[in-house]
Structure 1
Amino acid sequence: MRVPFIKMHGLGNDFIMLDARETPLPGPLENATVKALADRREGIGCDQLILMEPDDTATIRMRIYNSDGAEVEACGNGARAAGMLLGEEATIATAGGMIATRPDASGISVDMGVPRFEWDAIPLAYPMDTERLPLGWGTLEAPLAINVGNPHVVFFVDDADAVPLEALGPQIEMDSVFPERINVNVAEVVERASMRLRVWERGAGLTRACGTGACASAVAAMRRGLVDREVTVHLPGGPLIIAWGDDDRIIMTGGATEAFRGTFAWDDYAG
Structure 2
Amino acid sequence: MPLHFWKMHGIGNDFVVLDCRQRAFSLDAFEIRALADRHTGVGFDQLLSIEPARDPACAFYYGIWNGDGSPSGQCGNGVRCVAAWLHRAGALALNDDILIESPSGPVTVRLIAPGDVIVDMGEPVFEPARIPFVADEPANRYDIDVNGDALVIGAVSMGNPHAVMVVQDLADPDLQRLGPLLSSHERFAQSANAGFVQPVDRGHLRLRVHERGAGWTLACGTGACAAMAVLHQRGEVDDHVRVDLPGGSLQIDWAGPGHSLWMTGPAAFSFEGDWPVSSRGG
Q: TM-score range by the shorter chain?
A: over 0.9
Aligned partners of 2:19, 2:161: CA distance in 1, in Å? 26
Aligned partners of 1:177, 1:10: CA distance in 2, in Å? 30
Aligned partners of 2:68, 2:150: CA distance in 1, in Å? 25
Counterpart residue number, 1:268: 279
Q: Return the offset for 1:32.
A: 0.3
Counterpart residue number, 1:198: 208
Greater shift after overlay, 85-94 or 63-72? 85-94
1:161 is matched with which residue: 156, 171, 175?
A: 171
- Aligned positions of 1:31-70 closer than 5 A: 31-55=29-53, 56-70=56-70
Does the 8 A contact of 2:163 with 2:183 survive in 1?
no
Is 2:110 the counterpart of 1:102?
yes
Where structure 2 has 5 or more consecutive residues not aligned to the other structure, the ranges are none
**Residue type matched to 2:240 in 1?**
E
Alignment partner of 1:15: what SS? strand
Does the 8 A contact of 2:143 with 2:150 survive in 1?
no
Counterpart residue number, 1:125: 134
2:123 is matched with which residue: 91, 108, 114?
A: 114
**Residue type matched to 2:276 in 1?**
A
Alignment partner of 2:38: what SS? coil
Distance 1:140 1:49, change over 3 A: farther
Alignment partner of 1:72: what SS? coil
Residue identity over aligned pairs, in percent, reads: 39
Aligned partners of 2:184, 2:11: CA distance in 1, in Å? 26
Is 2:237 the counterpart of 1:239?
no
Q: Return the offset for 1:267.
A: 4.1
Is 2:99 the counterpart of 1:91?
yes
Greater shift after overlay, 230-239 or 48-57? 48-57
RMSD: 1.7
Counterpart residue number, 1:81: 81
Does the 8 A contact of 2:15 with 2:78 survive in 1?
yes
Aligned partners of 2:34, 2:139: CA distance in 1, in Å? 37
Does the 8 A contact of 1:140 with 1:155 survive in 2?
no
Q: Return the offset for 1:139.
A: 6.1
Does the 8 A contact of 2:14 with 2:45 survive in 1?
yes
Q: Return the offset for 1:135.
A: 1.1
2:268 is matched with which residue: 248, 257, 264?
A: 257
Does the 8 A contact of 1:165 with 1:200 survive in 2?
no
Residue deviations 1:41-92 (CA, integer Å, cap 9, x gap)? 1111000001110113311111100001100100000000001112233212
**TM-score with structure 1 setting the length:** 0.94
Greater shift after overlay, 96-105 or 115-124? 96-105
Counterpart residue number, 2:218: 208
**Residue type matched to 2:194 in 1?**
V
- Aligned positions of 1:147-158 closer than 5 A: 147-158=157-168
Aligned partners of 1:142, 1:132: CA distance in 2, in Å? 6
Residue deviations 1:207-260 (CA, integer Å, cap 9, x gap)? 100000000001111111111111000000000000013542010000011000
Is 2:72 the counterpart of 1:72?
yes
Alignment partner of 2:134: what SS? coil
Aligned partners of 1:163, 1:130: CA distance in 2, in Å? 28
Does the 8 A contact of 2:203 with 2:242 survive in 1?
yes
**Residue type matched to 1:202 in 2?**
R
How many residues matched? Answer: 269
Aligned partners of 1:75, 1:140: CA distance in 2, in Å? 29
**Residue type matched to 2:196 in 1?**
V
Alignment partner of 2:143: what SS? coil
